Amino acid sequence: CLLSRGLGDVYKRQHLDGTTTSTQRASAARQTITPELRRWIIEQAQAGYAAPVVLQSMRDAGWDEDVAADALEITLQEHLNDLAVQQGLPSAVPVPEPRLDESPAQVDCGDRTVNVLLAMAQPRIVVFGNLLSPEECDALIAAAEPRMARSLTVATKTGGEEINADRTSDGMFFQRGQSPLIQRIEERIARLLQWPIENGEGLQVLHYRPGAEYKPHYDYFDPAEPGTPSIIKRGGQRVGTLVMYLNTPEKGGGTTFPDVHLEVAPQRGNAVFFSYERPHPSTRTLHGGAPVIAGDKWIATKWLREREFQ
């Protein structure tokens, strides 16, 4: 797409400044975007000029580089969103995002240094190493184990209960801040993903036995489902997911992203993060838990909402 070509470079530049937050800078830049400037930027993009070329024109005209980059980024993102909304897609919203603008090998999360193992832009997927210590993984499993219940659904034929065919795992939820361990992990996640702790759902722990899987699905709530408006009254939509691996299954159990043919290998202490700015398949965040072939698989999932989740 002509409009998005080169945006990546501008985006990176915008986040290099560590002294002000991107939100502060964006709001300053937003004030500089007059209707005339907005029209001009969109015309340049439609004429096929890549973002760095347009940025240079603005600098030549006397614009401060940072302000121009922000104004350009905001204008083009808003325009892309306008086009998407015109096509009938839900509007884009802010999402959690780790601070990776200078491609750091590690991210400081306060009490722990987390490794960056893989980062994909679209869909936004980041794989982290060393997010949890082996002791934390074991302690989460031990705390969850006595409270695990098999996921059951009503069998439409018999009226009895049967194991959910799409999610053949056992699971439980912790309350947010339920124990010092959970609180510590939630604070770490909040720093890693730059997203308020209050916007997180309670941690869910899942246990897959050999043969168990989680068929591909989206984590956002489908706007077409009748139950969705009531679900999102509490905290808004889900906008991001962090799946943390609490053990290393012998074989199988990877987290798959079929749209991009990616499979993340589950390794104890590592995690995969992905975000989705609108509740729509165009985010390409379809994902599943591949069948476990040998051994068990334990994960803890943190789902992140738009707003405070009470």
3-state secondary structure of 258: helix
- Helix axis angle, 22-30 to 65-86, nearest 10°: 80
End-to-end CA distance of the chain: 40
Contact letters for ligand PD2, residues 164-203 (x by CB under 6 A)? ----------------------------------------
Verify binding: residue 299, ligand PD2, rule CB under 6 A: yes
Residue 240 sits in the site that holds ligand PD2 (CB under 6 A): no
Q: Which of residues 241-270 bind ligand PD2 (CB under 6 A)?
A: 241, 243, 255
Under 8 Å between Cβ of 221 and 237:
yes
* Closest residue to bound Zn ion by CB: 219
Residue 200 binding partner per list ligand PD2, Zn ion, none, with a CB distance cut-off of 5 to 8 Å that depends on partner kind: none
Residues 198 and 242: beta-carbon distance below 8 Å: no
Residue number closest to ligand PD2, CB atom: 289
Q: Is 170 in the site for Zn ion (CB under 5 A)?
A: no
Which one of ligand PD2, Zn ion, none interacts with residue 255, CB within 5 to 8 A by kind? ligand PD2
User: Any contact of residue 213 with Zn ion (CB under 5 A)?
Assistant: no
Question: Which tokens sit at 146?
Answer: 């006595």
Under 8 Å between Cβ of 90 and 223: yes
Alpha-carbon distance 229 to 76, whole Å?
Answer: 30
Backbone angles phi, psi at 58, to 5 degrees: -65, -40
Cβ at position 214, least distance to Zn ion in Å = 7
Binding mask 273-292 for ligand PD2 (x = CB under 6 A): --------------xxx---
The residues in 200-219 that bind ligand PD2, with binding defined as CB under 6 A, are 214, 219
Task: Using the structure block, give the residue that is written with the tokens 């803890």.
Answer: 300
243 binds, among ligand PD2, Zn ion, none (CB under 5 to 8 A by kind): ligand PD2
Q: Is 219 in the site for Zn ion (CB under 5 A)?
A: yes
For the chain, the farthest-separated pair of C-alpha atoms sits apart, in whole angstroms, at 74
